[in-house]
Structure 1
Amino acid sequence: MEDNVFNQMAAKYDTEDRKELANVIANEINRILDGKNYYSLLDYGGGTGLVTFQIAKHFNEILLLDSSHEMIKVAQSKIDPKQDYNFEARQLNLMEDNDLGFKADVIILSLVLLHIPDIETLLQKLFNVLNKDGMLILIDFDKNESIYHPKVHNGFVQNEIMELLTKIGFHDIEMHTFYHGKNIFMNKDASLFSSISKK
C-alpha cells in the first residue's frame, strides 16, 4: 500500500482486530526476548506502535520508524515520558533515506515486508543498521495462494526468506510458524511465522 493510504488510515488504525493480532505478535516477540539482554530497539514500519509499546520493557533506547507521518503522530501521542526507557517515534523511509543516525541491538520487522517491493534491499539496509551480534526479528504471513493484491506480497515461503537472510550475511537463523488465525490477512484465514537471525 502507498504511504497516503496509511496516512488516511492512521486515526482509525487501532481497531480491535488489529489490537488482537498485535497482541499475538507481541507475545511471540516477548517470548523471544525473555531472558536476553539488549539495549536498543529499532521497530521499522512500526505504525502506531501497537506491538512496540508491548515489548518496550526489554530496552533502554527505542526508535519506532514509519514512512507515514500520520501513523507517527498517533505513536507519539502514546509515549509516556515517565517510562524507564527513551522512546522516539520518527517518520523515515529507509528505502529513500539512509541517514538513520541510529544503531540497534534488535530490529523488529512486523508485517512490513508485505508492503516492500524490493525486500532484499531493505533487509540489507537493516543489516547495516544492526550492531555486531545484533538480532533481527521478522514476523510475517506464510505464503497464501488465496490472496492477491497488486501492491502486497501474498505472504512468504520460509525457506526463501532464510536463503535471502543467509545471502545478506545473517546467521543462526531460526524460523517457525507460530499462529493460525481466521480472517487475519485480507479477510482470509492465514498463518504467521517468526524468524530470528543474528548479525
Structure 2
Amino acid sequence: MGNTDKFEMIANIYDTPERIQIAKVSSDVIREYLVDANSKNAIDFGCGTGLVGINLLNEFNSMLFLDTSQNMIDQIKQKISDFNIQNADTLCFDFEKEGLSDLHADYIFMAQVLLHIHDAEFVLSRLFDVLNEGGHLLIVDFDKNEKVVSDIVHNGFNQAELSGMMTKIGYRDIQSKTFYTGSKIFMGHDASLFVLDSRK
C-alpha cells in the first residue's frame, strides 16, 4: 500500500489526540451499520495502530488487524498484549502486491485508508474477493477536496463516483453519507468525512 515508509517512521508517535478523536467518530459511525455482528469476523484493513478497530472489538466475534507497515502492526500487537485482548490477530500484508486466497471476512472496514491506495479499484476488487457472500465493506474517508494538492494521497473521493466504481466491481446495496466536518483535519485543510456501506 502507498506511503508505507512514512507510516513505518511515525508508528510510535501516531496516536495523537486528534487521531484518537477522528477514530472515535469513525468507529461510532461504522457501528451504525453493523447487523448481528457479534457472531461475525472482521478485518480492520489498513489498521495503523488499531485506533478504529479497538473501539469495535466488542462488536465482533473476532478481528484481524491488517496493515502494510510492520511498525504499525507492532504497535497494535503491544495493545493486544497490554489489554489482554483474546479475539484479535494481526497480519502485515500488502494487497497491492499479492492476493491472499485463504482470507475471508464478514465485515471489512477501512478508515482513511483508501486515500493512500494508488489503484483504489484494484484493491477494492481484491477486498470483494475476501468478503463472504452477504458481507459488508465499510469505507470512511474524506470527501473530495480541491484545496488539497498532494502527489502522495488522493484528495478525497466523490461519493457517487466511488459508488459507481464499486457497483462495477460487483458491490450492491451501496449507501453513503457525509457524517463529520472538522477543522484542518486533511493536510491542514478543513474537510468532511463520509461513510460508505456496501455488500457483496
- What's the RMSD between the two structures over aligned residues? 1.5
Residue in 2 aligned with 1:170? Answer: 171
CA contact (8 A) 1:181 1:189 kept: yes
Residue in 2 aligned with 1:136? Answer: 137
Q: CA deviation at 1:9?
A: 0.4
* SS of residue matched to 1:79: helix
CA contact (8 A) 2:107 2:135 kept: yes
Residue in 1 aligned with 2:189? Answer: 188
Does 2:59 correspond to 1:58?
A: yes
How far does the alpha carbon of each residue in 1:141-167 deviate from its partner, in whole angstroms, 9 at most, with x for none? 000000011110000001000101100
How far does the alpha carbon of each residue in 1:63-89 deviate from its partner, in whole angstroms, 9 at most, with x for none? 111000000000110005744x52011
Q: Distance in 1 between matches of 2:119 and 2:99?
A: 15
* SS of residue matched to 1:78: helix
CA contact (8 A) 1:38 1:106 kept: no
Q: Distance in 2 between matches of 1:65 and 1:34?
A: 22
Q: CA deviation at 1:38?
A: 4.6
Unaligned runs of 5+ in 2: none
CA contact (8 A) 1:38 1:105 kept: no
Q: CA deviation at 1:37?
A: 5.0
Which residues of 2 match residues 1-199 of structure 1 at below 5 A? 2-33=3-34, 36=37, 38-80=39-81, 82-83=84-85, 85-99=86-100, 101-199=102-200
CA contact (8 A) 2:38 2:58 kept: no
Provide runs of 4+ in structure 1 moved above 3 Å: 34-38, 80-83
Moved more, 9-18 or 26-35: 26-35
TM-score (norm 1): 0.95
**Identity across matched positions, percent:** 40
* SS of residue matched to 2:47: coil
Q: Which amino acid aligns with 1:49?
A: G
How far does the alpha carbon of each residue in 1:140-198 deviate from its partner, in whole angstroms, 9 at most, with x for none? 00000000111100000010001011000010111100011111111110000000001
CA contact (8 A) 2:178 2:194 kept: yes
Q: Distance in 2 between matches of 1:25 and 1:14?
A: 15
